[in-house]
Amino acid sequence: MKLQTPVEISPSDFLLQPFERMLFVGSCFADHLGRRCQEDLFRAVVNPFGVMYNPASILHTVKRTSEVPRVAVFTLGTNRVYILKETGEIVDNCQKKPQKLFREEQLSIKECVDFLSEAIEILQQRDADLRVLVTVSPIRYAKYGFHGSRLSKAVLLLAADELVKKYPQKVTYFPAYELLNDELRDYRFYASDMIHPSEQAIDYVWERFSETFFAATTKQLLHEWEPIKKVFAHRPFHPDSAEWKTLRTDTLAKAEQLLDKYGADEGIKNQFLPQ
């Protein structure tokens, strides 16, 4: 008896190495994945100018940032954009200005592909070895109506597919949308609003992400890092106690030894070790 429809994910033709330079841009789902990477020793920059829901806004972030990632992750949320009537420009944030100042439009598949292609070309000029992961956010947009939300996601899914075909050696699609909608098809995997994924669902997507893209060395590093990370995340009741100070000092020493073992330089140590 089959009680699920598992999503099959093909092995990746590239793998994330320890301390990989990454850039996450997109919907709040990019925040979820990006923060996990930051916690697990990747040099990840996550939505440096805020959450960006559509391909045009993703391009705007890429243009504004000076980051030079080896891996960029674009998480597409919607094909809907808001245009400032006065200038005709797509805005990334309406900044709580009156709705009457803007008009809402939907990007076509071609427009989505064009915006994302330009973002890829810009990043590729900074690092010729760039790899791009594209995913479609599984979060539904109730404000469009669920039929409208599905149509928007369909445009993004088709655009992502076109992008993979256009850059077959550069772009990889990760099926976060399918994992939640085709495999975790139950409201127990959603938060209380019945729209956003629960922590358990995010954990599962992260597990599949790491299985697909983490190199064996990266997995081993993170296995050794996990108990150290837990100590650093702990908030002691008595932070001035001798026991806590000893534990923290010992853990810092272990962490530095671990980072040395995997070839971390001083910049990486300064980024990940508590000061």
Tens-place pLDDT, residues 196-229: 899 999 999 999 999 999 999 999 999 999 999 9
Across-strand partners of 43? 21
Do 72 and 153 lie in one domain? The reply is yes
H/E run at residue 103: strand 102-106
- For the entire predicted model, the pTM comes to 0.94
Other beta carbons within 10 angstroms of residue 186's beta carbon come to: 9
Q: How many domains does the chain have?
A: 2
Across-strand partners of 15? none
Among 195, 214, 233, which residue terminates a domain?
214
Do 164 and 32 lie in one domain? The reply is yes
Q: CA-CA-CA-CA torsion for 187, 188, 193, 199, nearest 10 degrees?
A: -130
Per-residue pLDDT of the chain (275 residues; tens, 9 = 90+): 777 889 999 999 999 999 999 999 999 889 999 999 999 999 999 999 999 999 999 999 999 999 999 999 999 999 999 999 999 999 998 878 898 999 999 999 999 999 999 999 999 999 999 999 999 999 888 888 999 999 999 999 999 999 999 999 999 999 999 999 999 989 999 999 999 899 999 999 999 999 999 999 999 999 999 999 999 988 888 888 999 899 999 999 999 999 999 999 999 999 999 87
Residue 15, in any domain of the structure: no
Do 133 and 237 lie in one domain? The reply is no
Chain segment 244-263, per-residue pLDDT in tens: 899 999 999 999 999 999 99
Do 208 and 237 lie in one domain? The reply is no
Do 236 and 208 lie in one domain? The reply is no
Among 214, 232, 249, which residue terminates a domain?
214
Q: Distance (Å, rounded) from C-alpha 210 to C-alpha 41? A: 13
Q: Distance (Å, rounded) from C-alpha 161 to C-alpha 155? A: 10
In terms of residue numbers, what domain contains 138?
A: 21-214
Do 203 and 152 lie in one domain? The reply is yes
Do 202 and 238 lie in one domain? The reply is no
H/E run at residue 75: strand 71-76
Q: In terms of Cα–Cα distance, which of 105, 36, 34, 40 is closest to 48?
A: 34
Do 198 and 234 lie in one domain? The reply is no
Do 183 and 104 lie in one domain? The reply is yes
Amino acid at site 174 = F
